[in-house]
Structure 1
Amino acid sequence: MTAPAPTRTEGAEERLFSRAYAAATISFAAVMFLTGFAALAVVPMLPMAARELDGVPLYPLVAGCFVAASLFGGVLGGDWADRAGAARPLAAGVVLAVVTLVVSATSTTIWQLAVGRFLDGVAAGMIAVAINTAIAHAYPDRLRARALALMSTCWIIPSLAGPPLAGLVAAWWSWRVVFFGLAALTVIPSLAVVVLLRSRSWQAPLEKPEPGLPEPDLPKPDPVEPDPSEPDSSAAGRASRPTLVVAAVVSVGAAMGQYAVSGWDVRHLLCGVAGLALLAVFVPRLLPPGTWRAARGLPAAVLLRGLTSGAYFTLEAFVPLLLTTARRVPPVQTGLAFTGAAIAWAGSSWLQGRLQGRVSRHRMVTAGALVMGAAVAIAAVGTLPGLPALTAAGAMVLAAVGMGMAAPSLTLLSLTHSPPDRQGYASSAMQTSQNLGQMAVMGVAAAVFNLFLGFGSADLPAYAAAFGLLLVPSVLAASLAVRARSA
């Protein structure tokens, strides 16, 4: 028996849904794009602002409080999305982003600038988690992977074009113009998102059963066979939801750690010890139980996000420093390395979206982590004096290929392991792990780097040691990826 052909009304309705999804995707992408610019474009002119505001000693706090605050923003957005849907935290996040840019632009003291950057981090965390949750709730399976890949690539161009453009604007006019300009550019996409979220039409499913046929039994992920040696991590994950107070304490602890590196007196030492103590006590409460031992399912996916993000962003920070200070590479060539990495990440992220259903997600994570491990090895070899100076620059491009494969795959795995009413929590846990991974791996790499310099070693061996350390998170991610698989 053949199913009746769709009527003209049904065809028009499906076209309406398609246009609604397109409008939603464009609005989400625009907000993520401008959020990336607000996070990254201001980096080159923050030292100018700190000098003008007589706050150079507090520059580490201003530079690092954005990442610390995004921890709280991610948990806030995830908890809010689980309770009331993704619309409200996303609308609140985009409005807060505009307000905080104005706060930073009108700064009269270094502490006001720090508050502006902190609040901007809260807004960025809320936006990222709310958008991922909205896509998970409303998009059909055939569009979800590509939409998440697009959201990931929306941070690539800001990381490439944002810093030099902001530097030029600050040099020609003022660093305040950068903040005011970003606020003005963010207003229109923010209004578009708020209007879009007031309309529920875009959340109607595209996949509808044919008239006269029973409701299709949509495939659902089968549970992974439990490991008898481990407790049920999925049940444990439902047992407790991280509180906003805990998230705020973790953000404060991370900010205290950033403040501690701005000086070497007793006050800064005490802040550093207190910050580490707060992180050690409260960070486990923000992550799914079993994260540190890579329990199967969501805990493993969350841990892998921290390992891969830490390795990649630390490599991205140290390679330009190596090229500029030790190898004396012209800034234009260093900028081309960022261009290559941006293109590589975008291409790799697009490819993994096209491979949905053909390659298991956990195998994609394994491949991405191995590629990043190879990139780290190339960066370490690139410190040898006999090799071309730009050898390490190629490591950035190769690492971006691996990260473009791993990051969207881990996001999809985390959503697969979470029921619909817990996908906001899963997104916030991934965001928390990413931020913690960046701070932890970069901190350890910097400690190793400074340790070698303290022993009187030359610059190149110190860089080689820091790059060699990054093999640890890369190899761990590759070996543990199977524990995040979905049946």
Structure 2
Amino acid sequence: MDASTVPGILDQAHRRTTAGLLMLVTFIAFEAMAVGTAMPTAVAELDGLAWYGWPFSAFLVASVVGMVVGGDAGDRRGPRVALPWGVAAFAAGLLVAGLAGGMAVFVAGRALQGLGAGVMVVLLYVIAGQAYDSSLRPRLFGAISAAWVLPALVGPVLAGLVTTHASWRLVFLGLLPLIVLGALLVLSAGRSLTAPDSPPPPARGRRWWAVLAGLGIAALQYAGQRLDLPAVPVAVVGAAALVAGLRPLLPRGTARVARGLPAVVASRGLLAGAFFGMDALIPLLLTSVHGYSPTAAGLPLTAGAVGWALASQLQGRFARVPRERLLRLGFVLLAVGLAATVLAAVPALGGWPAYLTWAVAGLGMGFGMPSVGVLLLEQSPEHRRGADSAALQIADVTLSALSIGLAGVLVAAATQGLLGLPAAVAASIAVCTALALLGARLAGRAAAPPRAAVPGAGTTLAAS
């Protein structure tokens, strides 16, 4: 397709597909952001306080499996066939959770949601590769990033109002018709969404590796929530399961950030791990150390979301700048924002620096995340876009979970008096900043290597 004939992602040829994709992303993100607000009320009503962490873990484990299932289905049968299955699983999960009469059923509903969300998120990349010319992808990923961020601004507040004045069940049931509408828009406009001419053979074994990796993540999260001797073997087993599960799911060379596609996947993990590891701690820091109200403590997250959305739009205008340079810029801004946030951990300063520093970190994510998506589609062959997109999402989930888990260990140590909370936050900032600096140092490797050097690029899966 000649780029000069394509005015934008909202022209007549792409309008419905773009609207449908953005709707799906927005509602998946809303559910992820809003469910935490409704969860305490839901658990209390279902008399399941002892199960409080299970709905989150069930969603996480199932989403990793869904990513692999979605990638395989997209590569073999095409997104037009695979997307309805993901939407159906997510919608079924919303229905089951919204109507649950007991905690076990509620957890099952969350697992279905995770499975469907994993399938849909991966297929978004497959659809972007098929339905949009390469010149449009920076703007498309900018819009997708903004659609992820918007629910962070309104999701928790809206969910809180619905839960308080109506019912927590509407947080789940209310999205049902909107999710279906988004899928119908994509499918009605995407007649060109077809399966590859030479689809790869089914890789059912990858699903079991995904289950193993998901269980490993859940075990590490559980161990991070407790700071006692029984947590040690749980953490060891979880780490072993995670490493074993990831090896067949990620491009070979991901762990050492090998040039090309492995570096792209690793960059996504480094971005997510650096940002979300600290994003989860800022409200706790401001409320516990500085005495902020919950609303005031959440405002830095809003500032970060605004910075993310702004940079997502700006990066789409730099079509002539190599993507790896924009990725490096994103990592640098993220590192600056993270490092400067340590000022908010100083009791004498009152916490106000977080309002500025987290906006800078958000700018970094806005430049970095869309660039990773563009680089992935540039380097992933069509018959492997599903599997490679799944690897990208799995790296995101894994590093985010590990980083947040480490922050949880540090906070737990602070609650037991082993160190002060400001020191625990500063240590977490140091780790996250190191991840961002590592990403900045290695961002150049995300550029596509010379073709002669990678005859099998994207065809071998095994982390090394």
User: Is the contact made by 2:220 and 2:402 (CA closer than 8 Å) also made in structure 1?
Assistant: no
Q: Does 1:177 align with 2:177?
A: no
Structure 1 residues 392 and 14 mapped into 2: Cα distance closer, same or farther (>3 Å)?
closer
2:270 corresponds in structure 1 to 307
2:443 corresponds in structure 1 to 481
Aligned-pair CA distance for 1:268: 7.0
User: Is the contact made by 1:341 and 1:396 (CA closer than 8 Å) also made in structure 2?
Assistant: yes
Aligned-pair CA distance for 1:394: 2.1
User: Is the contact made by 1:91 and 1:193 (CA closer than 8 Å) also made in structure 2?
Assistant: no
After superposition, residues 4-403 of structure 1 pair within 5 angstroms as 18-197=11-190, 199-200=191-192, 243-260=206-223, 272-357=235-320, 359-403=321-365
User: Is the contact made by 1:348 and 1:401 (CA closer than 8 Å) also made in structure 2?
Assistant: yes
User: Is the contact made by 1:101 and 1:120 (CA closer than 8 Å) also made in structure 2?
Assistant: yes
Q: Which moved more, 1:439-448 or 1:362-371?
A: 439-448
User: Is the contact made by 1:250 and 1:279 (CA closer than 8 Å) also made in structure 2?
Assistant: yes
Counterparts of 1:109 and 1:391, CA distance in 2 = 44
Taking every aligned residue pair, what percent have the same amino acid on both sides? 33
Larger radius of gyration: 1
Aligned-pair CA distance for 1:173: 2.1
Aligned-pair CA distance for 1:308: 0.9
1:424 corresponds in structure 2 to 386
Structure 1 residues 242 and 366 mapped into 2: Cα distance closer, same or farther (>3 Å)?
farther
Amino acid at match of 2:65: F
Gaps of 5+ in 2: 195-200, 450-464
Aligned pair count?
437
User: Deviations 1:72-131 (Å, cap 9, x if unpaired)?
Assistant: 111111111111112222221122221110110111222222221122111111111101
Q: What SS does the aligned partner of 1:470 have? A: helix
User: Deviations 1:190-223 (Å, cap 9, x if unpaired)?
Assistant: 33334344x33x88xxxxxxxxxxxxxxxxxxxx
User: Is the contact made by 1:71 and 1:122 (CA closer than 8 Å) also made in structure 2?
Assistant: yes
**CA RMSD, aligned part only?**
2.6
After superposition, residues 418-457 of structure 1 pair within 5 angstroms as 418-457=380-419
Aligned-pair CA distance for 1:265: 8.8
Amino acid at match of 2:27: L
Amino acid at match of 2:210: A
Counterparts of 2:160 and 2:7, CA distance in 1 = 46
Counterparts of 2:410 and 2:176, CA distance in 1 = 39
TM-score by length of 2: 0.87
Alignment match of 2:376 (pick from 376, 393, 414): 414
User: Deviations 1:272-320 (Å, cap 9, x if unpaired)?
Assistant: 5443331121112111111111111011111111111011111211111
Aligned-pair CA distance for 1:262: 6.6
Counterparts of 1:407 and 1:271, CA distance in 2 = 32
